[in-house]
Amino acid sequence: MSGFQNAGVTKGIMMVLAINTLAVSLLHVKPYIHLQVVPHMTKYHQFWRLLVHPFAFANSTELLMGELLLYNVGTNVERSFGPRKYSSFILLSSLLSTFICFVGIVVLHKFGVSAVPAGPYGVIFSLLWQQYRTIPSLYAFRLFGIEFSSKIFSWLFALQLFLSYPPRSVLASLAGLLAGWIYRLDNLVLLPSLSRRRVLRPLKTYRIPLSIHTLLARLFEPLAGSSLPPRRSVRVLPGQMRESSARTTTASTVEPSTLRSLLSSRIGAGAAPPRPPRPSNGTTETGSTVPPPSATGSARAAMGEWVSEMTGRGQGGARAPTEEEIGILSGMFPSSSREAVVRALQRSDHNTAQAVEMLLDESS
């Protein structure tokens, strides 16, 4: 998909999240992926839940909302950060939100909040905070006298996740927002680093080691695939689009002399039209070229085009064909006269593709 251009990390996260959620549902292991203090940690010491609970959702509804948010928000944030900084942010926000959730359920389990639902709630809501702080809105609109921005749709999807399992989902969502806020602070934090001079630094300056990032990119990029950029055309009129496609399909049949004359006509406005093909027996002993039989007709057609263009007496008041259009068709149909080429262009309203069809019908 072209929507994932320059957003390979987000694409990989969405694929892993979907595969894990499907596997959890098929293998019937949903009770093992949420985070709960009592009795899973206090009695059974299942601390591995801290690591596995962000990797899958518990149901398809949460998966749909999560994937939509990752596509709409994560791709923009990744293009703004870059792949290496974005990967570092995903790692830090996941660790921060998990730690905040663990502290929250330890403190609040006496009040009934003793578990956190499975899924990357912290990462998604931390991405929402980064979008709110760094990504400008595309447009604004008014509804019932209230002004909204284009980001309102992302927050509506996030609201469904926020209220999916209250109060557990509320705690997980707030932990993600808090992790995103902490990430943007300028306070110095003790971070692992190979350089002793930069042990204390802000969280947003941390980067995954380049060697590890390069290794992971080489391993997972063939699996995720690459995304081509979307095709955008500067042509807005249907006729121009058909003309562009016709030129593309017939570019291989145009002679080099026609291409040179086309280039010269674009560079200089007064470039001469391409010469008709030289006859095999039309050369005298002194080397002078005998004019072809259609030279008189071509001159008459050129004079008629000039008069029609000056007086506006063309076909329906339309403009006369340009030398560029005539040169392209003359190179494609060297046996056709200039009058036939001009007549085909005028009848087709200067659409090269339709003029080619008319000349093919005439020559057949």
For 214-236, the three-class secondary structure string (H helix, E strand, C coil) is: HHHHHHHHHHHCCCCCCCCCCCC
> Which residue in the block uniquely carries the two structure tokens 């080619």?
356
Q: Give the pLDDT confidence of 105-130 residue by residue, as tens digits.
A: 999 988 888 899 999 999 999 999 99
Start-to-end Cα distance in the chain: 44
What are 67's two structure tokens?
A: 């994937």
pLDDT at position 332: 83
pLDDT at position 355: 84
Q: What is the mean pLDDT of residues 305-321?
A: 57
Residue 144 region, left (φ>0) first, then alpha (ψ -120 to 50), else beta? left
* β strands within 119-264, DSSP E: 140-143, 146-149, 189-190, 200-201
146-149 and 140-143 beta bridge pairing: antiparallel
Residue 88 has pLDDT above 80, yes or no: yes
Q: What is the DSSP letter of 141?
A: E
115 DSSP β-pair partners? 36
CA angle, residues 41, 46, 52, in degrees to nearest 5: 115
- Between 89 and 138, the more confident residue is 89
pLDDT at position 314: 47
pLDDT at position 353: 81
Q: Give the pLDDT confidence of 144-193 residue by residue, as tens digits.
A: 889 999 999 999 999 999 999 999 999 999 999 999 999 998 887 777 66
Q: Give the pLDDT confidence of 4-53 residue by residue, as tens digits.
A: 888 889 999 999 999 999 999 999 999 999 999 888 888 888 999 999 99
Q: What is the DSSP letter of 283?
A: B
Length of the chain counted residue by residue: 364
Q: To which H or E segment does residue 115 belong?
A: strand 115-116
What are 115's two structure tokens?
A: 């578990």
- 2 and 228 Cβ atoms separated by less than 8 Å: yes
What are 102's two structure tokens?
A: 């663990």
Longest dimension (CA), the chain: 112
pLDDT at position 348: 81
Q: In 3D, which of 235, 234, 236, 261 has the Cα closest to residue 329? A: 261
Q: Whole-angstrom Cα distance, residue 289 to residue 279?
A: 9
pLDDT at position 361: 79
Q: Whole-angstrom Cα distance, residue 200 to residue 57?
A: 35
CA angle, residues 135, 138, 141, in degrees to nearest 5: 125
pLDDT at position 7: 87
pLDDT at position 260: 56
Q: What is the mean pLDDT of the chain?
A: 80
User: Would you call 286 helix, strand, or coil by DSSP?
Assistant: coil
Q: Give the pLDDT confidence of 316-348 residue by residue, as tens digits.
A: 445 678 888 888 888 888 888 888 888 888 888
Q: Which of 58-67, 116-125, 220-229, 263-272 has the lowest mean pLDDT?
A: 263-272
Handedness of CA 192, 193, 199, 200 (dihedral sign): negative
CATH number listed for the domain at residues 2-224: 1.20.1540.10
Whole-model pTM?
A: 0.63
pLDDT at position 17: 95
What percent of the chain is predicted at pLDDT more than 70? 71
pLDDT at position 272: 46
Q: Whole-angstrom Cα distance, residue 247 to residue 6?
A: 31
Residue 296 has pLDDT above 70, yes or no: no
Q: For helices 8-27 and 60-69, give the axis angle rounded to 10 degrees.
A: 180
| CATH 1.20.1540.10, the chain: domain bounds | 2-224
pLDDT at position 99: 95
